A and B are shown apart, each in its own frame.
Chain A
């Protein structure tokens, strides 16, 4: 195992990023990926108290939709802690996630424009209406996918591309598809979408050699908005650390 990690942000924003980590073993890289998906807890609506629901959907369907709305999750919550949110919309109108009123200013829908339910006017003349109180609970992705902060978190090896010669004069110029991030001979890191994932586009007429860089992994981390990418990675690492500590304690006794 290498004695030092080296971390580099290749590209990204708060919601989606590519991060290069050197000095990892495949097992540890996968452990981190799984921690980000299943072990970092987030707040999600889990229980409803429905006061009125005259919409076209059953209470349970509304409950599922509300549960899937990502809520911003500060790091001072414990497993099982709850936050109350309320929704009160009368048609003709659409209830959006942004209409949810939270009792905690730090916990609010990460996206405000998710349609929950469209409310119309009934043929009899009265308006459809929805009024409810919802309880959001802190739990992790092992209990329900809605509690998972990471979306499509994965990694690939960093690949080194080197030119070994010219392609034969009469060889066919064919596509050479590679996805991820490559390291050029000058040590430059290039995401493959910059040349349409086609090595022939970047190195026309060249004979290439592509090989994995040992211990270098490019993570693609995307969050649902409940926290930033950086926070998700840090909390994933914290979760591994705290479990390792707990194991150490138990073994030592």
Chain B
């Protein structure tokens, strides 16, 4: 649905980085690993939160 506020494993706040990550790595052409390094999302537990996320609000919204 929405990006989780914190990493499930370590509790670091990662939600704030999602929109930049989406813009640069998903929609843009940049290397996701380089973008995550740049954002300071270093641990692999936090990185998987971003890499494996799908936004579903627009998918669910019509059925409200």
Residues of A whose CB lies within 8 Å of any CB of B are: 54, 56-57, 61, 65, 68-70, 97, 110-118, 120, 122-123, 128, 145, 148, 151-152, 222, 224-225
8 A–B contacts, CB within 8 A, in A order:
A54-B64, A56-B64, A57-B2, A114-B16, A115-B18, A120-B58, A151-B10, A224-B6
Identify B11's interface contact among A110, A114, A120, A148, CB under 8 A. Answer: A148
The 8 closest A-B pairs by CB, nearest first: A68-B5, A114-B15, A113-B16, A118-B57, A152-B10, A120-B61, A56-B60, A111-B16
Q: Which of B1-51 contact A (CB under 8 A)?
A: 1-6, 10-13, 15-16, 18-19, 43
Tell me whether A151 and B64 are in contact (CB under 8 A).
no
CA distance in complex: A114, B4 (Å):
9
- Would you give the shortest CB distance from A123 to chain B, in whole angstroms? 5
CA distance in complex: A56, B60 (Å):
7
Contacts of B12 in A (CB 8 A): 151-152, 222, 224
Known: A56-B57, A56-B60, A115-B18. A152 touches B11 (CB 8 A): yes
- Would you give the shortest CB distance from B14 to chain A, in whole angstroms? 9
Known: A120-B57, A222-B12. A56 touches B5 (CB 8 A): no
Residues of B whose CB lies within 8 Å of any CB of A are: 1-6, 10-13, 15-16, 18-19, 43, 55, 57-58, 60-62, 64
Closest Cβ neighbor of B45 among chain A residues: A152
Beyond contacts A145-B11, A151-B11: 20 other A-B pairs, Cβ-Cβ < 8 A, are A56-B1, A68-B4, A68-B6, A68-B13, A69-B13, A70-B13, A110-B13, A111-B13, A112-B16, A113-B16, A114-B5, A115-B15, A118-B2, A120-B58, A120-B61, A122-B61, A128-B64, A152-B43, A222-B12, A224-B13
Tell me whether A56 and B61 are in contact (CB under 8 A).
yes
Contacts of A151 in B (CB 8 A): 10-12
- Would you give the shortest CB distance from B53 to chain A, in whole angstroms? 11
CA distance in complex: A208, B2 (Å):
50
CA distance in complex: A222, B28 (Å):
30
Identify B64's interface contact among A65, A114, A116, A122, CB under 8 A. Answer: A122
CA distance in complex: A116, B61 (Å):
15
- Would you give the shortest CB distance from B23 to chain A, in whole angstroms? 13
Contacts of B57 in A (CB 8 A): 56, 117-118, 120
CA distance in complex: A224, B12 (Å):
6
